[in-house]
Amino acid sequence: MRPMLPLLPTSPKRIALVLALSLGLGGCASWQQPASKALPAELQQALQQAGLPESALGLVAFPLHARGTGPRVQADVAMQPGSTMKLVTAVVALDQLGANTRGRTDLLIADTPQGDVLPGPLYLRGGADPDLDWPALWLMLRQLREQGLREIRGGLVVDRSLFNPARPELGVAPFDEAPEFPYNVIPDALNLNGSLLQFEFSADAQALRARSSPVWPGLQVDVSSVRLSPNRACKDWEQGWLPPQVRHRPEGQVVLQLQGEFPANCQQSQALNLLDRQWLTAQLLRQLWRELGGEISGPDVEAATPAGAQLRASHQGRPLAEAMRGMMKQSDNALTRLVYLQLGSRVAAPGQATQDAAAAQVRAWFAAKGLDSSGLVMDNGSGLSRSERIKPAQLAALLAVAWDGPQAPELLNSLPIAGVDGTMRRRLKGTAAEGHARLKTGTLRDVTALAGYAFDAQHKPWVLVAIVNDATAAAKGRAVLDAAVEWVAKQ
């Protein structure tokens, strides 16, 4: 039985093994541009069966022990990569930030408490923590309460200033027709609960009931405009969904008016990004503080924490190497964007947009590794973009460099395994590639892509990058990409 591509822990012994393996196979960090090679007959046939022209395909595939060989088709044409662009963010972040870097959230005060009363505000400072959810904030507030603080008279100051702009989602046109769904969230430095709130929908044959979870006193969910559909299947409930209307009342309450259709006799639970994140943060913190026996009065504002403020409680997210499993296996756009902005925040000049700084850092990394970055266009680092571009040869070169690097185990552990897990769990089952390839997927309206590593029939690792850009790519291109993986597995 052929060996599975192993899960690689981050022990020094295992890292040394990966490095020795890659170097023993002839690997080196430098990259030389090999001559173009013809498309294999199997892939030509797959393109013909899919009704796609060869001009729609960008392909680079080579064994890591013979990096100048293998097919190359449109290798130097900048293409839309979809979520395979996450490989760029992951590799550069692992190298520049380190596998153990962790985002952090802080609670601070700048005024001296008078007994159990804080005359000034409470500061909530975001630090790109990927795991700040409701329970994490509750625990931080409990720690503060146990220090003897009960009444906060200066209100709440939310500090998102780690990134510039602090509210990057404001004024941005929606990517598509579903901006409220989790994959479309634009993160900020606080990113509390991913800026999402869970909603529970339950319909019988006569009426729909809906509520948020948790339930906030200042939020009313109005279902009066929703029509029940007796014929729509419950699994297709999103097809009748229309973006809700949000109304702010003068007294501070919010009415969420649902729109569209919902299947009769159906129950669904869905996290949605519908409410202003500052309003949601203030509502949550105030309610949790009341439940802990505290009082809070004063305004809710967004501003930077003053120098010299005293740290009273904090929460740390998972190390980057662990958070990357969600980035890559589940193709989490918001988490990837958070890491990309974190990368930019480390090098941004005063007043520089954090996203621009991240793009400059990626280009600097390419230059430091001796890789060509011409034609490379970075936007948000997640691939959820109409403007991002990369050449197949550039992505393949990045993967080759990553294989030789000390962070190779972390990268490999994060990638979906063909036919086993993540976004590859249903693909290539029963083929020679099942369990023997770790590949990042990418899908947009006009894009489908795969990029990563695969073992051939001699158990030797290959780099594979295959991208289809075409108006029918999402519907027709996947079979071509899978054929490319199978071709490598049979070599």
Report residue 15 CA to chain centroid gap. 26
Same domain, 403 and 308: no
Q: Are residues 485 and 431 part of one domain?
A: yes
Q: Is residue 212 part of a domain?
A: no
Instruction: Indicate which CATH number applies to the domain containing 356.
Output: 3.40.710.10
207 belongs to a structural domain: no
Average pLDDT over residues 8-19: 38
Work out the number of other CB atoms within 10 angstroms of the CB of residue 129: 25
Predicted pLDDT of residue 8: 38
More confidently predicted of 6 and 166: 166
Residue 228 lies in a domain: no
- Same domain? For 309 and 387 the reply is no
Average pLDDT over residues 466-487: 96
Distance CA 477, CA 389 (A): 18
| pLDDT (tens digit per residue) in 112-123 | 999 999 999 999
The confidence score (pLDDT) of residue 188 equals 98
Residue that is written with structure tokens 């989790």 in the block: 182
Residue that terminates a domain, selected from 265, 290, 315 = 315
Q: Are residues 344 and 467 in the same domain?
A: yes
Pick from 268, 287, 315: which residue ends a domain?
315
Strand 219-222, strand 254-263: pairing: parallel
**pLDDT confidence tier of residue 250, bands split at 50, 70 and 90:** confident
In DSSP notation, 300-347 reads EEE-PPPTTPEEEEEEE---HHHHHHHHHHS--HHHHHHHHHHHHHTT
Q: Which two tokens stand for residue 320?
A: 């980057």
The DSSP secondary-structure symbol of 456 reads: -
Q: How far is CA 447 from CA 58, 383, 440, in A?
A: 11, 10, 14
Residues 336 and 304 in one domain: no
Q: Domain check: are 455 and 367 in the same one? A: yes
Is the same domain home to 358 and 440? yes
pLDDT in tens, 253-278: 899 999 999 999 999 999 999 999 99
Final residue belonging to a domain, choices 286, 315, 344:
315
Distance CA 421, CA 419 (A): 6
Q: What is the pTM of this model?
A: 0.91
What distances in angstroms separate CA 233 from CA 75, 206, 236, one per listed residue? 44, 16, 5
Q: Is residue 289 part of a domain?
A: yes
Do residues 422 and 452 share a domain? yes
| Domain contains 217 | no
- Confidence at residue 25, expressed as pLDDT on a 0 to 100 scale: 32
* CATH code, 282: 3.50.80.20
Mean pLDDT of 378-402: 98
On whether residue 248 sits in a domain, the answer given is no
Reported residue count of the chain is: 491
Say if CB 295 and CB 150 are below 8 A apart: yes
Q: Average pLDDT, stretch 471-486?
A: 95
Q: Does residue 349 sit in the same domain as residue 454?
A: yes
Same domain membership, residue 370 and residue 478? yes
Residue 5 is predicted with a pLDDT of 38
- DSSP per residue over 26-88, as a string? T--S----PPP-PPPHHHHHHHHHHT--GGGEEEEEEETTSTT-S-EESTTS-B--GGGGHHH
- Same structural domain for residues 329 and 456? yes
Domain-embedded: residue 67:
yes
Domain count, the chain: 2
pLDDT of 86-98, one tens digit each?
Answer: 999 999 999 999 9
- Lowest mean pLDDT, pick from 6-20, 434-448, 453-467: 6-20
Q: CB count, 10 Å around CB of 407?
A: 21
Domain membership of residue 153 as a residue range? 103-166+278-315
For residue range 48-63, what is the model confidence (pLDDT) as tens digits? 999 999 999 999 999 9
In a domain, 215, yes or no: no
Say which residues have a Cβ less than 8 Å from residue 157's Cβ, sequence separation at least 6: 121, 122, 123, 124, 301, 302, 303, 305
Highest-scoring range by mean pLDDT, 13-17, 66-70, 200-204: 200-204
Residues 93 and 107 in one domain: no
Measure CA 305 to chain center. Answer: 27
